[in-house]
Amino acid sequence: MNKKEILKLAKGFRGRAKNCIRIARERVEKALQYSYRDRRNKKRDMRSLWIQRINAGTRQHGVNYGNFMHGLMKENIQLNRKVLSEISMHEPYSFKALVDISRNAFPGNKNVVLPTRKADISINV
């Protein structure tokens, strides 16, 4: 890259990194390395977020994430994790139907006890 392109990419940097060509070149190269790395990390982070949302939704119905996904796979329901996380947040009744389908497809889901709430527990002394 020539001087003009580097200084254009360095616009907005602090100190001499925006106008001194040697420092600007180093900072721009490092910034491009970070952007390359983080484009891949963003995909990883989003998948992790979707899995957390699905897991939270399934545990409300007494099924864990792994058994839920296995049941969907057995029923050949091909919804990706992004769509499942959106359904779990915005369409709770539709998501409950998917959990019920998954629970019926995979025997490991049937013996799960629904979580109890603290308000339901009373202690007699």
The domain ranges of the chain are 3-105
Contacts of 26 (CB under 8 A, 6+ apart): 17
Confidence (pLDDT) at 114: 57
How much of the chain, in percent, has pLDDT values that exceed 90?
Answer: 75
CATH topology of domain 3-105: c-terminal domain of poly(a) binding protein (1.10.1900)
In this prediction, residues 105-113 reach a mean pLDDT of 67
Confidence (pLDDT) at 113: 57
In this prediction, residues 67-75 reach a mean pLDDT of 91
Could you tell me if 103 and 109 are in contact, meaning their C-beta atoms sit under 8 angstroms apart?
Answer: yes
Half-sphere exposure of 4 (CA within 13 A, CB side): 0
**Single pTM value for the model:** 0.76
Confidence (pLDDT) at 112: 55
Cβ neighbours, 10 Å, residue 112? 15
